[in-house]
Structure 1
Amino acid sequence: MENIDKITSPFDGIDLEIGSGPLYQRLCDAVILLIESKKLAHGDRLPPHRELAQLFGVNVSTVTRAIKLLQQRGHVESRIGSGSFIQPPRPKPPRSGVVETAGICDLSINRPATDAYLHMLEKILPMLPAHNHFRMIQDYHLPEGDVRVREAFAQWLAPELGHTDPARLVMVNGCQHGMSCIVDTIAQPGDVILTDQITFHGFIALCATKAIRLKAVETDQAGMVPEAFREACQLHRPKAVFLMPNNHNPTTVTLSPRRRKALGDIAREYGVFIIEDDVCGPLMENPPPTIASTHPDITFYLMSLSKCVAAGTRLGVISAPPSQVATLAGILRLNCWSTNSLMNFIAATMIEQGKLQEIIAAERSELRSRNKILAEILPPSQVPREKTSPFAWLQLPDPWRCAAFVKSAEQAGVCVLTGEAFTFSQTPVHAVRINLNAARSGDDLRKALAILQTLTNTGYRQAFIGA
């Protein structure tokens, strides 16, 4: 199509007297209709403001406001000295709600890989009004959560919790919210909490906002070292220790039963609470017994549905030491009063009907497939032991450093999360986290992993030496 400053036919028949709203709004809408009807295409240049004003019999200021509105909506780009050009349509957001960029495979987001939750939701929603507890959706409920909901979660998580007592559970708005409530329950600004040398970036940020002093404990390939933990307890007198025993985020390490017991026994000896983040636990096929099941008097067990069901659920649960439940519920009451009634109702219904396990089974199946792809491309030392791990911890060879690798990977079309986000100490980290479930498909994952593997082998020389 030729430039439309030469051919003005696309504007024939447009009458700005028709419709409501100010003239600039009607002119903006008219241009959008021309774009949607294919009469204006990507790259077409609009006539100068003055010509458009004469064409429609309006002031130049009206045209200027219309063009500005078109820019704000992403339909037009104005270039100084060149004019205003029709832009390509903005990409529709994916079903996950994560904005995607054309040509980029974003492996930095940790979220479930399938739409199993959406498919199940489509089946369940029409049946909800017939449920005996349907009316609870419109009412307040206890800060710790509706009894029916806590009973459902207590039964579902019984193997992990080591109990079925709903009175020990508190519902929260996902793990991040749960961590915040736990920290507020047991610590004050200036207190110390221990954690691994490399740990979840969300917990690092949380403690920073609450002026909690994080202290790193030595770790090895099997996780936190018990004797180092003992020394840290003696030196720092911490309020708690933050652990991710199952599929540690980001290192993927799973603590052995022996090491879990050792850490739990030391924590009890020194009067230290344990915050056990088990957000990835439900994805594991045969996880070891939780620390909460063997040390329930000192452990806050925390999990949510965000990694095993759907990121948008924003629903989690805490099993707290019996002595701390009332305080934790009081903190939640002040924080947000209670969690969302509708999401609680849906989750409890899915648990009672066995649907939640079906969703998680679908996620596990997809992750098994994606871990096989990972094992085909990366060397064995870089592959997680857990065959349903949602992420991998890619150790970078010399002379790669995190910032350079992340930048080079993005230039090659792949986004990963820098390992430096997971540390608060001066210890250098030369690794990145790869989220296997973030790729739109197995084929996309395979292509992205191949790019990353090429970069680790030869990319530094290509990117920075020019060979």
Structure 2
Amino acid sequence: MTMWFIDSEALRRPVYLSLADQIARAIGDGRLAAGLRLPPQRIMADELKISVQTVSRAYEELIRRGLISGEIGRGSFVRAEKPEGSLPYIPERLGEIVDLSILKPVCEPMHLEKMQTALVDLAANLPPSSVLSFRPNVVFPRHRQVAVDWLRMCGLEVQAPNICISNGATAGMTTALMSVATPGSTIATEAIGHHTLVPLASYLGLNLAALEIDDEGIIPEALDAACRSEVVRAVFVQPTVINPTASLMGERRRAQLAEVARKHDISIIENDVLGPLIEDRPPPLAAFAPERTLYVTSFTKTVLPGLRTGYLAVPDRMLSAVMNRHLVTNWIATPLIAELATRWVVDGTAAELVRWQRQALRQRQRLAAQELAGIHYRAHPEGLHLWIPLASVQEEELFVSQARLRGVAIAPGRSFQTGSISQPAVRISVGSTSEAELQAGLRVVGNLLRSAPEPLLLAI
């Protein structure tokens, strides 16, 4: 059997990743049809003159990517359906690869020590309601009152009863979407935006209208046009250091979007999980249109990944819908984690860790500027990531693959595409690994970009 879709001369170390990438491209461009049975591992190994273990690792990698399925006794098959959403990050494989693909704050031993200390204190002073009650209104009155102070720091004035304690931003997003739109409704959002939103909208039966963006995010005229051409129920927006484009929406633009939403009487879902990291940021959209904005924030990206709790601030008229939908999808946020977050807000630990994170990111962004000198990219000095525009979709795929072959994982721009509008690029996280590994990874990225043919980088 001839492996007609494999170019054995193009295999590079690590060979299993190179082989997996070639098979993935063959699946992506249709040369390997859905349902097709891949050659047995031993046959492929013999044809390509590589070890069976190498082929096995390549197949395992493709299974992790959701591109093939392995069936005991039958073999490996190209999946009949494409995976639901393209994840920008890879499964963590310590020691094998420098992972710059997942958006994560900088973490040091100090963070673990603080959590260990907090857990010891929690065990010694555990509120009975945190483990004995089923009722959110019994567990969370104090937490909501403390949340008022944290949201004020975020630039938002809100009353305690209007705050829903959630298990982080994804739970808040889900509840917000279910509260403003019924299945079949349309949600407008950035054409290049939140990677979780695409599969989440699909699961909820919602349609996405991908809006044109510029250096500040959604263009108000694009939202206005979408609202005039179809029934839009809400706009989902990330105004502060937008993931993935690293853009910061200015105050005037925020006010303009709020006015468009008010003009067409649509809701705003504002994802502001990165907001607290930016020291001099404009007020949130919720400050311009408090009567229609559901504001989502959390602690995982700004304080500690394991502190999986957050706040959903809700206008009066939507409060009943939000609380009911959160109740049936989550029932209650995890009380012990919420208790830890509340204590850290009260004693200043949360604010201290945000300030520490801000300084750490400034240092890492300076490091990125040194390693990527002369290369055009978009970033914020206090941001968790940077965004490198490329010339075409083909260059994006090639660049991600070449970086992986050199031991560096980066996120492809296609993972953030919410509609047919494409902006080829890659996202690079600056907080996901140690500073030494970040520097090594950025050096690989920089060398690849500088050595690539001229068309690779987007002309500016």
Counterpart of 1:226, as a letter, is P
Q: Distance in 1 between matches of 2:405 and 2:251?
A: 42
Correspondences of 1:148-297 after superposition (within 5 Å): 148-297=142-291
Which runs of 5 or more residues in structure 1 are unaligned?
A: 1-77, 81-97
Helix, strand or coil at the partner of 1:437 = coil
Work out whether 1:456 is the aligned partner of 2:442: no
Q: Would the aligned equivalents of 1:370 and 1:436 in 2 still touch at CA under 8 Å?
A: yes
Work out whether 1:301 is the aligned partner of 2:301: no
Which residue of structure 2 lines up, in the alignment, with residue 54 of structure 1? none
Q: 2:97 aligns with which of 100, 104, 109?
A: 104
Q: TM-score, normalised by structure 2?
A: 0.75
Q: CA RMSD in A?
A: 2.3
Tell me which moved more, 270-279 or 228-237: 228-237
Q: Would the aligned equivalents of 1:106 and 1:415 in 2 still touch at CA under 8 Å?
A: yes
Which residue of structure 2 lines up, in the alignment, with residue 319 of structure 1? 313
Deviations 1:36-79 (A, max 9, x none): xxxxxxxxxxxxxxxxxxxxxxxxxxxxxxxxxxxxxxxxxx98
Identical-pair percentage: 28
Q: Would the aligned equivalents of 2:101 and 2:427 in 1 still touch at CA under 8 Å?
A: yes
Which residue of structure 1 lines up, in the alignment, with residue 439 of structure 2? 446
Q: Distance in 2 between matches of 1:416 and 1:376?
A: 19
Q: 2:327 aligns with which of 309, 326, 333?
A: 333
CA positional deviation for 1:350: 0.8
Q: Would the aligned equivalents of 1:104 and 1:415 in 2 still touch at CA under 8 Å?
A: yes
Q: Would the aligned equivalents of 1:382 and 1:392 in 2 still touch at CA under 8 Å?
A: no
CA positional deviation for 1:396: 2.0
Which residue of structure 2 lines up, in the alignment, with residue 137 of structure 1? 130
Helix, strand or coil at the partner of 2:208 = strand
Work out whether 1:435 is the aligned partner of 2:456: no
Which runs of 5 or more residues in structure 2 are unaligned?
A: 1-50, 54-90
Counterpart of 1:261, as a letter, is A
Q: Distance in 1 between matches of 2:336 and 2:324?
A: 22
The 1:326–1:370 alpha-carbon spacing in structure 2 relative to 1, beyond 3 Å, is same
The 1:425–1:124 alpha-carbon spacing in structure 2 relative to 1, beyond 3 Å, is closer
CA positional deviation for 1:454: 1.3
Tell me which moved more, 349-358 or 309-318: 309-318
Q: Would the aligned equivalents of 2:215 and 2:248 in 1 still touch at CA under 8 Å?
A: no
Work out whether 1:363 is the aligned partner of 2:357: yes
The 1:391–1:272 alpha-carbon spacing in structure 2 relative to 1, beyond 3 Å, is same
Tell me which moved more, 262-271 or 381-390: 381-390
Q: Would the aligned equivalents of 2:169 and 2:310 in 1 still touch at CA under 8 Å?
A: yes
Q: Would the aligned equivalents of 1:192 and 1:240 in 2 still touch at CA under 8 Å?
A: yes
CA positional deviation for 1:121: 1.6
Highest relative contact order (Cα 8 Å, sep 6+), 1 or 2?
2
Which residue of structure 2 lines up, in the alignment, with residue 388 of structure 1? 382
Deviations 1:130-150 (A, max 9, x none): 54x622221225447601111
The 1:380–1:172 alpha-carbon spacing in structure 2 relative to 1, beyond 3 Å, is farther
CA positional deviation for 1:231: 1.1
Q: TM-score, normalised by structure 1?
A: 0.74
CA positional deviation for 1:397: 4.2
Larger Rg: 1
The 1:399–1:407 alpha-carbon spacing in structure 2 relative to 1, beyond 3 Å, is same
CA positional deviation for 1:379: 4.1
Counterpart of 1:448, as a letter, is G
Counterpart of 2:449, as a letter, is T
Q: Would the aligned equivalents of 1:283 and 1:360 in 2 still touch at CA under 8 Å?
A: yes
